[in-house]
Amino acid sequence: MKSAKAVSAENYYFGGSPVKYRNHEANAVSLCGVMPDYPEVRDVSLAKGRFITEADDIHALKVCVLGSKPADALFPGEEPIGKSITIEGRTFKVVGVLEEQGQFLGRDRDNVILLPYRTYAYMHPEEEELLLVVKPWSPGLIDECMD
């Protein structure tokens, strides 16, 4: 799609997944399966580390990017990058932490953990809905992107 600057397939699990690191726990965390273009289409930035790569997604790697709330809850006064956490009984390596986002349309955008899309799909095959987010090169190309 020539008119699209970035595209991210996304899927969400708002079920409050249990997330743990040693004796720390983060509660009511939303899991999001996303593509590498997520930061571009959602205008989010990393506070530290890196984002999910195409290789992470293609190989369905168990890596994650933490929102600011799970990062604070799981790693008080500790560096999270490179550490392993448990999400729904599975071990994931923390590769990044998002900058604080705040609320949007009543949703807490900070109490989230981002996973490679394919990794998420393996964990939650029952979640068949898909959100496709597209960012055009310019506002004038929105209609073309919608086609």
Beta bridge partners of 132: 9
Kindly list the domain boundaries of the chain, sorted by start residue: 14-130
Measuring CA to CA, how many Å separate 121 from each of 83, 111, 118?
Answer: 23, 20, 5
Query: In sequence order, which residues have a C-beta less than 8 Å from that of residue 17 and are 6 or more positions away?
Result: 29, 30, 31, 87, 88, 113
At 147 the pLDDT is 54
pLDDT of residue 145: 47
pLDDT in tens, 62-101: 999 999 999 999 999 999 999 999 999 999 999 999 999 8
- Residue stretches of the chain with pLDDT short of 50: 132, 137, 141, 145
